[in-house]
Structures are given as structure tokens and as C-alpha cells.
């Protein structure tokens, strides 16, 4: 099950966030900074799945933009990984060249 | 907007509904959304299904009645609507897989179509047809096919197909493959599929892509629980992953290793885990890992030294963040020990020694928890030391006490340890210095302890009796009634003090005084003086001496006593191999060859590897060494399980024999007599020679003589008369024997009409019960060729009583039968006495009773369990079953007056209103209410004109009130309760009842 969906740029600013479970507003910022920190610290050779507390983060980088999805333990990581790509493709379809302009 | 004709508006409204609607507002829009399920536009239908899914998530009760409509959605001609309905089904199947087995066929067909590319091209993603839909379907199939051979057989083909199709080199096909593998290993196994799935995993693990490797490891972790040999094939890859630069991969590998740990490889695996533990900083990881290491160490520790050292490492790293159970369990293990006294002493001695050396080191800071463990162990077991005197230990503890970095909680542990050691030390300056120092401490707790120590120190004899050596495990007899204070109380009473009143009584008095404005202050102060008199200084000092003792020495002991029921894993499996080989006489012969074969295979593999890589570098060899140490004995894991099982079985036997002992000898003998005469009767009926022989073979003397008797009688034709006589005697005696214990009902099948007897034996256990309580009809829940199990519900006033009766259909005798219920989070299931059956004769029925109590409201829940039985001459077998329980089983009438109803009505916050159409047969209010009373067990309080008041309660005591009013043929129901979910549920049930009748 997907818990939240984040779009973050390389400077660590959140561009878009969507939570599917209630999280307090001030806790959100805390969570987001921690999530971004753990994503930014990883290199290309490392895998795109991170275990964070009791859930998993799946991230994908498009130029300067990170898309991070938080899921619970039962989710299929690879499916989410591809789902992110599908999402970006859809964005690209509707608002062409979206990835490079953010 | 929902009623608008504009499509876009409806769409928006449905989206908003699913996003922001709270629970309470659902009934308002539910009918509108239900209508939308029939909408001509597929996007509306889809959105309606999704909105209902959302409702199902937040309030499953309220959408219960539209489950049939979901089925329609599943068969919708539009793929989108069908896909949306899958979410609901995944959820519902997760909760209750048995209810949807009939849909397996449809899911399989859908998946077949998807895999076969029958969907519109829009659903393709990189030329893979609807990958997420496939994943969803595979997940559902996995849940449906779990442990169910028949359902699983339906899906073999389609799984094979999707494994074959998903060969495209794309990430999303890997995701599908992963899900396939998962499903293949969750359903009832089929060897060909397993082989293919294993190949897939191999591809994943060996892939250079890091994400795939992760996925492969995850799959392997799951699969290895079913088939540990797969790990052997991939051992080299696993070793590589263990040294992988990415910590996430490393962690996943450790998780995998954790699953394959056994007594032989535990040292290496724990060492690896500790290495990782030292590197990681995140708290969550540490807590998780520390728990796992402690568990492994307790289970499989090869020797004392290793165990203590591992636990030391765990304590010093895990420190204060770890779960408090870990130190508690550790101390309990030390204190209670095992069967072998010398082993215990060695373990304790080693612990004491290692702690002393740790304390000797300068400038090292240990976590508080670790210090607490140390102080307790030193306090209890320092007497085992030869070299160092207690005084020296005290000196060390004293040094710690003076350390500023030690918290005050730990200091009290330390003082307690010192107190325990003082009687052994004879005289010690340190103790005096300590007393001197801490009697002026600012911390009141410390001061209290210091004073206690001081007084005890002055009276060494008393101290020795209070703090005996090595008695931590013995029960302390605590005088809960405080009878030693009786004299004091009598004295106080004779001096005119008022008798003590309990707290609630005083409060009541206070209240009543306030109400009537009684200005007499003395009545109150009298009672309080009686109270304080009881607590006067003498009482305190006396009380604290006693309780101080129990609080200090018993601080951990009380804990350990409570935990006694828990199985001691360490002692049973890993630690006492000698004992196991003794108990497993029959099983001992079996596992050894297996083990050796596995080890041979293991060696062969490594040998092969070695011959292949002779030219490889030294580093590789090291890795292989590590591999062989990691995977040694992996194949023999099954034997470990076997041994474990044998052990538990023997344990059960022991328990059983206790039960037998509890009964008087007389009872057992008569019992045996009845048994044997029954069996001999059935012999006569069936003339089964084989059975006679088996009976004959039994060791029981009494039985032997009886079977001999019957054999003799059998040969003659005048059998029936004397036996029947005997039989009637015995059966006369049985009721009296078991009258006090209704669980142990034993009903003999009569030789003349066995089937009739069976029926009656099924029904009769409840004759006594049913005079008082209503019960459901017997329902057969599972059976095989030897036994059949049927269940009943008895709705008792305070709980639900589940009765399972086991009928032995075969001509053979059941040696033992055992019923176990899987734990469920919403219930508390308590076994009624007499659930272990020593012997069940042929053709007889036994029943088990369990009382079920609700802990958390739910709507529908499955209570499942299994019955394991042991035939006379064959192996033991298991039979699983499950029973549906609904909340209705826990609803009881609440008998209150109309006035109370009025009061309660105002005090409840949660209410639900609904109008229900009445059928013609019950157009009048009384008849409608009567149906509610009968079907739902509501209590009718009063009927006033066209209004009615009803009440019920959910066990144990959650009331719910119902107010009804009739207009023409409409019944307006209005529920109120203190529980938020109860009205919803009852409303649904009422609707069902009204519509049904």
C-alpha cells in the first residue's frame, strides 16, 4: 500500500507531496527532510529501495528531480519503481518536456 | 453534484467523496453512489467503485450489503471498472479468504485474458499488458490458494503461462515475475512450478543490476522458509552480497541469514550481524537487529561462553534503546536455569566472571540497562566465585555507585545487589561507607534503600534469613491479607478508632454527605483516622521490611514468575542436544541419516566448487570457507524441526499424564473399564479381528484382561448378555463420574444401532447446557476418513462457548487428540478444562470447549485451528478447520427499565438512524419487534403505541439502545450506543432480518 508520494528537487525542497494516510503537518516536514537526506546520500550504484523505519522508500531521479514513494512492507518494490516511471511518462505526455523544466 | 446530469460534475463529486468524506457522512451519500454503479458511462462506474472501496476501508460495516454489487463490477465489460473492483477484493480476501474461493475461477480467467494480451492496447505499458493489474491478480490468487490444494490446482496453468510470458527484458516484467514467484511459493506447491520459480530467483540474484539483486534477495528470503536447500545453490552470491558496499543490500542479506540460522551456523551468522550492528547508527535498525540477535543467541547458543559474550555485545550496543523483554528474558534464563544443575552453575559463574572483567576496565561507559543486568547477576551469583570475596565485588559496585554518569534507577539496582552481598561479606568497610554516604542522599529512594541496608546490617541473622543465597526462583509467600497487622488493628479498634473502610465506600459516603449537606464533619474524620491508624509508623517500618525484601530480591523474580508459562526455547532446541536425542527415540533414527546426507551434499558442492576454482585467488577461498560455515547443516534444518516437534509432543504427553494423576485412581480404573467394555462391544458388532489384536497388544493390563475376556466371549455365541450387563453398569457410572466435569463426556456407540448412537452422542453433551442457554445446531466443519469434527455455538450470558466435538469414525482407537486454536487479535479464547484427551476409543465422540471473549469489535471473523490426533498404530495427523464468528454471537439482551433507558439514551453519543421497509407479514410493531428479539437477541423493554424501546449489549458490557417507530409500512430505527461501530453493525443486521422475513 502506498503511504505517501513526494516530488523533491536536489536542493531538498518539496515540490509536491501527497499523503494517503493522515500525518501531522509539522511531522510531515520532519519526515520529508529525513527522507530526502537518505535519498540524496545514495549513489547511482546503490539500489533504489531504502528501508526507513517501518516502511520502505522507493525513489527515482529525473535530472534534478527526485520522486520518492513511501510504501508499506507488503508492496512490490519493482512495481512501484516502474509506476513512478509511468507517472513521469504521463506527465510528459500531457505537458511535454516537463522533467527538464522543473 | 452527485445527482447532476453533467458527467464532469458527477466525476468530481465522486472523487471528492472518496477523498474527504468522514465515517459519519457515509450513510447520507451511500444510496446515490450505489446508483452510480449502474451508470452507463464506465468512468462513473469506476469512480463509484473506488469511492465504495474507500468506504470499505474506513467503515466496512456500512457497505456490507452491497457485496453482491461488487461481483457485478468484477464482471463489468469495461476493464477499468473490473480493475478498480480488484482493490476491494484484495482487501476482503485478505480478511477472509475462505468466503471467496468460488471466485477463483473468475480471477484465473481474467488473468488468462490479461496475460494473453486480450486487453485494449491502452493498457499496455512498454508492450507489457497491464502489469499492475497482473500483480494485483497474482496477489489475490496467492491469498486464495494458500494451503488449499483444490483452489491451487485451478491456477497452475495460468501461473505457468505468466511465468513464461514475462520474459521480456524490462523492469516491469521483473516485478511481475517477483509476484509470480511469491504466489507460486504461497499456494499449495507443485514441483514443476517451484522449479521454474527457483530458476527465476536465480536470474534475479545473479543479475548485475542492483535493484534486481535486492528483489532476488527478498524473494529468496521468502522462499527459504519453505525450501532451505535453495540457499545452498546461491551461497556464493549471498556471501558476495554480505560484503556489498550498499548497506541496504547487506541488511536484506542478514535478514535472509536470520531465516536460515540453525545450531551449526549460528556463531558465524551472529558474528556477521554484530558487525553490521556496530556500523549502523539508526535507532530503528539497532532495535530490530538487537532483538533478532538475542533471539538467535537464546535459541541456538552452542556454549556458555559464547552465549554470555554475545549477550554482552548485545547489551553494550543495544543499550537503552532495546526492547525491555531482552534483559528480562536473559535474567530469567539465568535464574531459572535448566534441568542440569552443573550447567546452570557454570553459566552463572561465567556470567559473573565476565562482568567482573568488564567492570575492571577503566573509562568504559556501559548503557544503564547493561549495568542493571550486571548488578543483578553479581548480587545473586557472586557466591559462586572462589577467588574473589564478596567484599571485593562490593567494592567494585561501590565504585560504580559513586560514578556520576550512572542514573538513579541503576543505582537502586546496585544498592540492591550490595544488600544481597552484605550477609556473605561478614564485615566490610565499604558497606558502612556506603551507608554513611547514602543515608544523606537527596534522592529519597536511595535514602530509603540505604536505611534499610543500615538496619539489616545491624542485625546480621535477620539479614541472612531475609536474603538467602540462590533463592531467586523460589516463590515468596506473601501474606496478602496482612494478617500480622491484625493485633495492631485490634488494638486500634479497642482504643476507639473507626474500622477501616475501603476506598469506594469512603467516596460514597463523601458523596452522600455532599448531597444532603450534612455539616457533621466528624463521621468523615473518624474513618480517615482509622485509615491513618493502619498506616502508622510502626506499620510502615514493618511493612517496608517485608515488602522491601520482596521488592528488592523479588524485583526481577516477580517478573520471571509471571513469564513462566512461556516456552524456554533455548533449553529445548539448541542448548540441550543430549536430551533431545534421548526423547526422540523413533525420530532419532530418522534425522541422522538425513543430516549426514545433507552434509555430504553440502561437502560435495563445496568440493566441486573448489575443484572448479582451484586457480582462483586466496580471497575466494576464504569466502568459500565462510560459505561452508554459514550453510553447514542447513539441509538438516528440517530435522531440527522434527526434533522440536518430537519434544513438544513428549511435553504434551507429560502434561496429560498429570491430568490423569489428578483424577483419583479409582476413576481411572473405572474409566478404563468402561473404555474396554465399549471397545469390546464394538468388536462384537464389527467382528474385526485386527482391532482385537491391536487392543490385545496394548500394555495396559486391565485392558488386556478385558479384551481377552471379549475374545473368549466372542468365540462363544453367548456374548451379548454379560457384556451388555457390564456395559450398562459402566454407562450408569459414567454420568456420575463426569457429572462434575461436563467436558469429559464419553458416549458409547451402541452395538445394535451405531449410527443412532452417534447422533445421540453428538446431541447429548448439550442437554445439560441447553436447558439454560440457547445453542446453534451442530455443523460439520471438517472431516477425513478417520475423524470428523463438528462445532456448536452456545450463547452463554457472559461469553460465547464454542464446542468442537470430535467423532472417531474409524474402527481404530485414537491415542490422543488435541485441539489448538490459532490466536486471533480480536478475541480472547480460553480453554476450558479437560481439553487434552488421553484416549479416544473407536466410534466415539469427544468434545472440546472453548470460551470466546471479544476484545475488539469486528464484524466477521474466522476462528481457525487444527486438531492433531494420534492413531493407535500410525503416525500423528492434523486436520485444520475454521469457524465463522459474527458480532451477533456476542450480542445479549440487556434487561433494563424504561427509566434507565431514558437515562442511558441521553448519555450516548453515537447514533444512527435509518428507515426500513417492513414486509407485510410483520406490519404490526409487536410482530416486527418479536422478530428482532428472536433473531438478534434484543430485549424489548416497552411498547408504547407505535413506538418501541429495545436494548442489548455487546459482551462484555457495551450497551446499545434501539428506538423504533412505525409509520404505515416503514419502521424508523434509531440506534444509540457508547461504541461507535456497534450501531452501524446492528442496523445492518436489522435490515437483513427485516428484509429476510
Distance of residue A46 Cα from the nearest chain B Cα, in angstroms = 6
**Disruptive mutation site among B86, B174, B177 for chain A (greatest number of A CBs within 10 Å):** B174
Mean pLDDT of B231-259: 79
Do residues B246 and B619 touch, judged by C-beta distance below 8 A?
no
Show the cell assigned to A19.
499523503
Considering only residues B703 and B517, tell me which one the structure prediction assigns the higher pLDDT: B517
In the prediction, which pLDDT does B501 show?
67
Question: How far apart are alpha carbons B567 and B647 in whole angstroms?
Answer: 12
Question: How far apart are alpha carbons B26 and B49 in whole angstroms?
Answer: 14
**Disruptive mutation site among B246, B250, B251, B286 for chain A (greatest number of A CBs within 10 Å):** B246
Q: Which pTM does this prediction carry?
A: 0.52
| Beta pairing, strands B970-977 & B128-129 | unpaired
Q: Is A97 on the interface with B (CB under 8 A)?
A: no
Strand order in the sheet with A65-71: A14-19, A2-9, A65-71, A55-62, A49-52
Residue B263, SS3? coil
Q: Which residues contact A95 (CB under 8 A, 6 or more apart)?
A: none
Residues 852-871 of chain B with CB under 8 A from chain A are none
Crossing angle, helix B283-300 and helix B304-318, to 10 degrees? Answer: 170
Do residues A79 and A96 touch, judged by C-beta distance below 8 A?
no
In the prediction, which pLDDT does B555 show?
39
Query: Is B246–A53 a contact, with Cβ atoms under 8 angstroms apart?
Result: no
Query: Is B215–A78 a contact, with Cβ atoms under 8 angstroms apart?
Result: yes
In the prediction, which pLDDT does B628 show?
64
- DSSP character for B572? I
Enumerate the residues of chain A whose CB falls inside 8 A of the CB of residue B175: 76-79, 81-82
- For residue B562, the tally of other CB atoms under 10 A from its CB is 11
In the prediction, which pLDDT does B804 show?
78
**pLDDT-derived band of residue B684, with 50, 70 and 90 as boundaries?**
very low
Enumerate the residues of chain B whose CB falls inside 8 A of the CB of residue A49: 211, 214, 248
Considering only residues B142 and B437, tell me which one the structure prediction assigns the higher pLDDT: B142
Q: Does B445 have pLDDT greater than 60?
A: yes
Q: Which residues contact B818 (CB under 8 A, 6 or more apart)?
A: B652, B835, B836, B837, B867, B868, B869
B20, β-bridge pairs: none
- Look at residues B71, B88, B62, B569 and name the one whose alpha carbon lies nearest to residue B338: B569
Do residues B815 and B808 touch, judged by C-beta distance below 8 A?
no
Query: Is A82–B179 a contact, with Cβ atoms under 8 angstroms apart?
Result: no
What is the per-residue pLDDT across A87-99, written as a single tens digit (0 to 9) for each? 888 888 888 765 5
Query: Is A76–B175 a contact, with Cβ atoms under 8 angstroms apart?
Result: yes
Query: Is B135–A50 a contact, with Cβ atoms under 8 angstroms apart?
Result: no
Residue B37, SS3? coil
Mean pLDDT of chain B: 68
What is the per-residue pLDDT across B550-561, written as a single tens digit (0 to 9) for each? 434 433 333 333
Q: Does B856 have pLDDT greater than 60?
A: yes
Q: Which residues contact B785 (CB under 8 A, 6 or more apart)?
A: B809, B810
Mean pLDDT of B857-873: 73
Q: Is A81 on the interface with B (CB under 8 A)?
A: yes
In the prediction, which pLDDT does B480 show?
58
Mean pLDDT of B690-715: 42
In the prediction, which pLDDT does B224 show?
80
On the CB side of B312, how many CA atoms lie within 13 Å of its CA?
18
Query: Is B211–A47 a contact, with Cβ atoms under 8 angstroms apart?
Result: yes
Question: Which of A49, A79, A82 has the CB atom closest to B248's CB atom?
Answer: A49
- Look at residues B979, B775, B955, B952 and name the one whose alpha carbon lies nearest to residue B854: B955
Q: Which residues contact B835 (CB under 8 A, 6 or more apart)?
A: B743, B818, B819, B848, B849, B850
- For residue B35, the tally of other CB atoms under 10 A from its CB is 12
Question: How far apart are alpha carbons B246 and B248 in whole angstroms?
Answer: 5
Question: How far apart are alpha carbons B938 and B921 in whole angstroms?
Answer: 20
Considering only residues B777 and B111, tell me which one the structure prediction assigns the higher pLDDT: B111
What's the length of chain B? 997
Distance of residue A60 Cα from the nearest chain B Cα, in angstroms = 12
Show the cell assigned to B699.
500394555
Do residues B313 and B307 touch, judged by C-beta distance below 8 A?
no
What is the per-residue pLDDT across B711-755, written as a single tens digit (0 to 9) for each? 444 444 433 444 444 444 444 343 333 334 333 333 433 333 334
- For the CA atoms of chain A, what is the radius of gyration? 13
B803 torsion bin: left (phi>0), alpha (psi -120 to 50), beta (else):
beta
Question: How far apart are alpha carbons B638 and B621 in whole angstroms?
Answer: 29
Enumerate the residues of chain B whose CB falls inside 8 A of the CB of residue A78: 171-172, 174-175, 178, 211-212, 215
- For residue A54, the tally of other CB atoms under 10 A from its CB is 9
Q: Is A50 on the interface with B (CB under 8 A)?
A: yes
DSSP per-residue string spanning B488-540: HHHHHHHTTPPPP--HHHHHHHHHHHHHHT----HHHHHHHHHHHHHTSHHHH
What's the length of chain A? 102
In the prediction, which pLDDT does B656 show?
39
Angle at the Cα of B30 (from B26 to B35), degrees rounded to 5? 160
Please give the residue of chain A at the shortest CA–CA distance from B210: A47
Do residues B281 and B554 touch, judged by C-beta distance below 8 A?
no
Question: How far apart are alpha carbons B11 and B25 in whole angstroms?
Answer: 19
All structural domains of chain A, each given as residue ranges with its CATH number in brackets, are 2-95 (3.30.450.60)
Residue B746, SS3? coil
Considering only residues B243 and B665, tell me which one the structure prediction assigns the higher pLDDT: B243
Question: How far apart are alpha carbons B62 and B26 in whole angstroms?
Answer: 8
| Residue that the C-alpha cell 538467602 belongs to | B468
Mean pLDDT of B81-103: 84
DSSP per-residue string spanning B194-260: HHHHHHHHHHHHH-SSHHHHHHHHHHHHHHHTT-THHHHHTHHHHHHHHT-S-HHHHHHHHHHHHHH
In the prediction, which pLDDT does B800 show?
78
In the prediction, which pLDDT does B70 show?
80
Do residues B291 and B323 touch, judged by C-beta distance below 8 A?
yes
**In terms of DSSP H, where are the helices of A1-102?**
25-40, 77-94, 98-101
In the prediction, which pLDDT does B168 show?
66
In the prediction, which pLDDT does A69 show?
92
- For the CA atoms of chain B, what is the radius of gyration? 35
| Residue that the C-alpha cell 508492496 belongs to | A75
Question: How far apart are alpha carbons B678 and B684 in whole angstroms?
Answer: 10
Considering only residues B575 and B200, tell me which one the structure prediction assigns the higher pLDDT: B200
- Look at residues B72, B115, B71, B114 and name the one whose alpha carbon lies nearest to residue B92: B71
Q: Which residues contact B149 (CB under 8 A, 6 or more apart)?
A: B188
Query: Is B179–A76 a contact, with Cβ atoms under 8 angstroms apart?
Result: yes
Query: Is A45–B131 a contact, with Cβ atoms under 8 angstroms apart?
Result: no
Q: Does B569 have pLDDT greater than 70?
A: no
| Beta pairing, strands B800-808 & B845-854 | antiparallel
**Could you tell me the CA-to-CA distances from B274 to A10, A12, A43, B316 in Å, in that order?**
35, 34, 25, 11
A60, β-bridge pairs: A67
In the prediction, which pLDDT does B649 show?
36
E strands, B374-444, are none
**In terms of DSSP H, where are the helices of B96-165?**
104-115, 131-145, 149-165
In the prediction, which pLDDT does B601 show?
44
Q: Does A21 have pLDDT greater than 50?
A: yes
Predicted complex ipTM: 0.87
Considering only residues B958 and B875, tell me which one the structure prediction assigns the higher pLDDT: B958
Q: Is B135 on the interface with A (CB under 8 A)?
A: yes
Question: How far apart are alpha carbons B58 and B183 in whole angstroms?
Answer: 28
Q: Does B799 have pLDDT greater than 70?
A: yes
Please give the residue of chain A at the shortest CA–CA distance from B211: A47
Q: Does B229 have pLDDT greater than 70?
A: yes
Q: Is A93 on the interface with B (CB under 8 A)?
A: no
Q: Which residues contact B70 (CB under 8 A, 6 or more apart)?
A: B49, B52, B85, B88, B89
In the prediction, which pLDDT does B924 show?
74
Show the cell assigned to B232.
545452498
Q: Does B641 have pLDDT greater than 50?
A: no
Enumerate the residues of chain A whose CB falls inside 8 A of the CB of residue B125: 82, 86
Q: Which residues contact B936 (CB under 8 A, 6 or more apart)?
A: B888, B891, B952, B986, B989, B990, B993
- For residue B539, the tally of other CB atoms under 10 A from its CB is 18
Show the cell assigned to B72.
457485478
The pair phi, psi for residue B351, each rounded to 5°, is: -60, -45
Residues 168-187 of chain B with CB under 8 A from chain A are 171-172, 174-176, 178-179
What is the per-residue pLDDT across B141-189, written as a single tens digit (0 to 9) for each? 888 888 788 888 888 888 888 888 766 678 888 888 888 888 888 888 8
Residues 215-234 of chain B with CB under 8 A from chain A are 215, 218
Q: Is A73 on the interface with B (CB under 8 A)?
A: no
Query: Is A78–B132 a contact, with Cβ atoms under 8 angstroms apart?
Result: no
Query: Is B214–A82 a contact, with Cβ atoms under 8 angstroms apart?
Result: no
Enumerate the residues of chain B whose CB falls inside 8 A of the CB of residue A47: 210-211, 213-214, 246, 248-249
Show the cell assigned to B202.
536465480
**pLDDT-derived band of residue B27, with 50, 70 and 90 as boundaries?**
confident
Q: Is A58 on the interface with B (CB under 8 A)?
A: no
- DSSP character for B570? I
What is the per-residue pLDDT across B384-422, written as a single tens digit (0 to 9) for each? 776 667 777 777 777 777 777 777 778 888 888 877 777
- For residue B577, the tally of other CB atoms under 10 A from its CB is 12
Do residues B213 and B171 touch, judged by C-beta distance below 8 A?
no
In the prediction, which pLDDT does B45 show?
87
Question: Which of B131, B179, B214 has the CB atom closest to A82's CB atom?
Answer: B131
What is the per-residue pLDDT across B279-295, written as a single tens digit (0 to 9) for each? 777 777 777 788 888 88
In the prediction, which pLDDT does B815 show?
67
**Percent of chain B residues topping a pLDDT of 70:** 63
Query: Is A76–B125 a contact, with Cβ atoms under 8 angstroms apart?
Result: no
Amino acid at each position: 500500500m502506498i503511504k505517501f508520494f513526494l516530488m523533491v528537487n536536489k536542493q531538498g525542497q518539496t515540490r509536491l507531496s501527497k499523503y494517503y494516510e493522515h500525518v501531522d503537518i509539522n511531522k510531515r516536514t520532519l519526515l520529508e527532510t529525513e527522507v530526502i537526506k537518505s535519498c540524496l546520500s545514495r549513489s547511482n550504484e546503490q539500489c533504489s529501495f531504502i528501508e526507513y523505519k517501518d516502511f520502505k522508500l522507493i525513489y527515482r531521479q529525473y535530472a534534478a528531480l527526485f520522486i520518492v514513494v513511501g510504501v508499506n512492507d507488503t508492496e512490490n518494490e519493482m512495481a512501484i519503481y516502474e509506476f513512478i516511471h509511468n507517472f513521469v511518462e504521463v506527465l510528459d505526455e500531457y505537458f511535454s518536456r516537463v522533467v527538464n523544466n522543473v | 453534484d452527485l445527482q447532476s446530469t453533467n458527467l464532469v460534475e458527477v466525476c468530481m463529486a465522486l472523487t471528492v467523496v472518496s477523498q474527504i468524506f468522514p465515517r459519519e457522512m457515509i450513510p447520507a451519500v451511500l444510496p446515490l453512489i450505489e446508483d452510480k454503479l449502474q451508470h452507463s458511462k464506465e468512468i462513473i462506474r469506476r469512480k463509484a467503485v473506488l469511492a465504495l472501496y474507500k468506504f470499505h476501508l474506513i467503515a466496512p460495516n456500512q457497505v456490507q450489503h452491497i457485496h453482491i454489487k461488487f461481483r457485478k463490477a468484477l464482471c463489468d465489460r469495461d476493464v477499468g471498472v473490473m480493475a478498480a473492483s480488484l482493490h476491494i477484493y484484495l482487501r476482503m480476501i485478505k480478511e477472509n479468504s475462505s468466503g471467496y474461493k468460488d471466485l477463483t475461477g473468475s480471477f484465473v480467467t481474467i488473468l488468462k485474458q490479461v496475460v494473453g494480451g486480450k486487453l485494449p492496447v491502452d493498457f499496455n505499458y512498454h508492450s507489457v499488458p497491464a502489469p499492475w493489474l497482473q500483480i494485483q491478480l497474482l496477489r489475490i490468487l496467492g491469498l486464495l490458494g494458500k494451503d488449499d490444494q483444490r483452489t491451487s490446482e485451478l491456477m497452475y496453468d495460468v501461473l505457468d503461462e505468466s511465468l513464461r510470458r514475462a520474459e521480456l527484458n524490462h523492469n516491469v516484467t521483473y516485478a511481475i515475475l517477483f509476484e509470480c514467484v511469491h504466489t507460486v511459493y504461497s499456494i499449495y506447491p507443485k514441483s514443476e512450478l517451484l522449479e521454474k520459480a527457483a530458476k527465476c530467483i536465480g536470474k534475479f540474484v545473479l543479475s548485475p543490476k542492483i535493484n534486481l539483486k535486492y528483489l532476488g534477495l527478498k524473494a529468496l528470503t521468502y522462499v527459504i522458509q519453505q525450501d532451505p536447500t535453495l540457499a545452498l545453490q546461491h551461497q556464493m552470491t549471498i556471501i558476495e552480497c554480505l560484503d556489498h558496499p550498499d548497506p541496504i543490500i547487506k541488511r536484506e542479506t542478514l535478514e535472509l541469514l536470520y531465516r536460515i540460522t540453525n545450531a551449526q551456523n549460528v556463531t558465524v551468522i551472529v558474528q556477521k550481524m554484530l558487525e553490521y550492528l556496530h556500523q549502523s547508527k539508526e535507532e530503528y535498525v539497532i532495535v530490530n537487529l538487537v532483538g533478532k540477535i538475542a533471539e538467535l543467541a537464546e535459541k541456538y547458543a552452542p556454549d556458555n561462553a559464547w552465549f554470555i559474550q554475545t549477550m554482552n555485545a548485545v547489551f553494550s550496543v543495544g543499550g537503552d534503546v532495546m526492547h525491555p523483554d531482552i534483559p528480562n528474558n536473559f535474567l530469567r534464563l539465568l535464574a531459572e536455569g535448566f534441568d542440569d544443575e552443573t550447567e546452570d552453575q557454570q553459566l552463572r559463574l561465567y556470567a559473573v566472571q565476565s562482568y567482573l572483567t568488564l567492570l575492571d576496565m577503566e573509562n568504559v561507559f556501559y548503557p544503564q540497562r547493561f549495568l542493571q543486568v550486571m548488578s543483578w547477576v553479581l548480587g545473586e551469583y557472586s557466591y559462586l566465585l572462589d577467588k574473589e570475596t564478596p567484599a571485593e565485588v562490593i567494592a567494585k559496585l561501590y565504585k560504580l555507585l559513586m560514578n556520576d554518569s550512572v542514573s538513579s534507577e541503576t543505582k537502586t539496582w546496585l544498592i540492591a545487589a550490595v544488600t544481597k552481598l552484605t550477609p556473605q561479606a561478614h564485615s566490610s568497610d565499604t558497606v558502612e561507607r556506603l551507608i554513611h554516604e547514602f543515608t544523606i542522599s537527596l534522592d529519597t529512594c536511595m535514602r530509603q534503600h540505604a536505611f534499610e541496608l543500615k538496619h539489616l546490617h545491624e542485625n546480621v541473622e535477620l539479614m541472612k534469613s531475609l536474603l538467602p543465597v540462590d533463592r531467586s526462583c523460589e516463590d515468596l509467600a506473601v501474606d496478602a491479607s496482612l494478617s500480622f497487622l491484625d493485633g495492631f488493628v485490634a488494638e486500634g479498634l479497642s482504643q476507639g478508632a473507626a474500622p477501616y473502610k475501603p476506598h469506594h465506600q469512603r467516596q460514597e459516603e463523601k458523596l452522600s454527605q455532599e448531597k444532603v449537606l450534612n455539616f457533621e464533619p466528624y463521621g468523615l474524620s473518624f474513618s480517615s483516622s482509622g485509615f491513618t491508624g493502619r498506616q502508622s509508623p510502626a506499620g510502615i517500618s514493618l511493612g517496608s521490611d517485608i515488602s522491601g525484601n520482596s521488592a528488592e530480591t523479588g524485583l526481577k523474580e516477580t517478573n520471571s514468575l509471571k513469564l513462566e508459562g512461556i516456552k524456554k526455547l533455548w533449553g529445548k532446541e539448541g542448548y540441550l542436544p543430549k536430551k533431545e536425542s534421548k526423547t526422540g527415540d523413533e525420530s532419532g533414527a530418522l534425522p541422522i541419516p538425513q543430516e549426514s546426507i545433507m552434509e555430504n551434499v553440502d561437502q560435495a558442492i563445496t568440493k566441486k566448487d573448489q575443484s572448479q576454482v582451484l586457480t582462483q585467488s586466496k580471497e575466494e577461498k576464504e569466502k568459500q570457507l565462510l560459505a561452508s560455515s554459514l550453510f553447514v547443516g542447513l539441509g538438516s534444518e528440517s530435522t531440527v524441526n522434527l526434533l522440536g516437534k518430537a519434544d513438544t509432543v513428549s511435553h504434551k504427553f507429560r502434561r496429560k499424564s498429570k491430568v490423569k494423576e489428578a483424577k483419583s485412581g479409582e476413576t481411572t480404573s473405572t474409566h478404563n473399564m468402561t473404555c474396554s467394555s465399549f471397545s469390546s462391544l464394538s468388536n462384537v458388532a464389527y467382528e474385526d479381528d485386527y482391532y482385537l489384536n491391536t487392543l490385545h497388544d496394548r500394555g495396559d493390563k486391565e485392558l488386556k484382561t478385558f479384551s481377552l475376556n471379549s475374545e473368549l466371549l466372542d468365540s462363544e455365541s453367548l456374548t451379548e448378555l454379560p457384556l451388555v450387563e457390564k456395559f450398562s453398569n459402566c454407562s450408569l457410572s459414567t454420568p456420575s463420574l463426569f457429572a462434575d466435569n461436563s467436558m469429559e463426556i464419553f458416549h458409547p456407540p451402541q452395538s445394535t444401532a451405531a449410527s443412532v448412537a452417534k447422533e445421540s452422542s453428538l446431541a447429548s453433551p448439550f442437554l445439560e447446557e441447553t436447558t439454560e442457554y440457547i445453542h446453534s445446531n451442530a455443523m460439520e466443519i471438517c472431516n477425513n476418513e478417520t475423524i470428523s469434527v463438528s462445532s456448536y455455538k452456545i450463547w452463554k450470558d457472559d461469553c460465547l462457548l464454542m464446542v468442537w466435538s470430535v467423532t472417531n469414525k474409524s474402527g481404530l482407537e485414537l491415542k490422543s487428540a488435541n485441539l489448538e486454536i490459532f490466536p486471533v487479535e480480536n478475541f480472547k479464547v480460553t480453554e476450558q478444562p479437560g481439553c487434552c484427551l488421553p484416549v479416544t476409543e473407536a466410534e466415539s465422540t469427544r468434545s472440546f470447549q472453548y470460551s470466546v471473549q471479544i476484545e475488539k469489535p469486528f464484524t466477521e471473523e474466522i476462528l481457525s485451528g487444527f486438531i492433531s490426533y494420534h492413531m493407535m498404530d500410525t503416525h500423528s495427523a492434523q486436520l485444520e478447520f475454521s469457524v465463522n464468528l459474527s458480532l451477533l454471537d456476542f450480542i445479549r439482551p440487556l434487561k433494563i427499565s424504561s427509566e434507565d433507558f431514558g437515562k442511558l439514551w441521553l448519555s450516548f453519543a453515537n447514533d444512527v438512524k435509518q428507515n426500513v421497509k417492513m414486509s407485510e407479514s410483520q406490519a404490526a410493531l409487536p410482530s416486527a419487534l418479536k422478530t428482532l428479539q428472536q433473531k438478534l437477541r434484543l430485549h424489548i423493554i416497552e411498547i408504547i403505541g407505535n413506538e418501541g424501546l429495545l436494548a442489548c449489549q455487546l459482551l462484555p458490557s457495551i450497551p446499545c439502545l434501539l428506538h423504533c417507530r412505525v409509520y404505515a409500512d416503514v419502521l424508523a430505527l434509531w440506534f444509540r450506543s457508547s461504541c461507535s461501530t456497534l450501531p452501524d453493525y446492528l442496523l445492518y443486521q436489522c435490515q437483513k432480518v427485516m428484509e429476510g422475513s
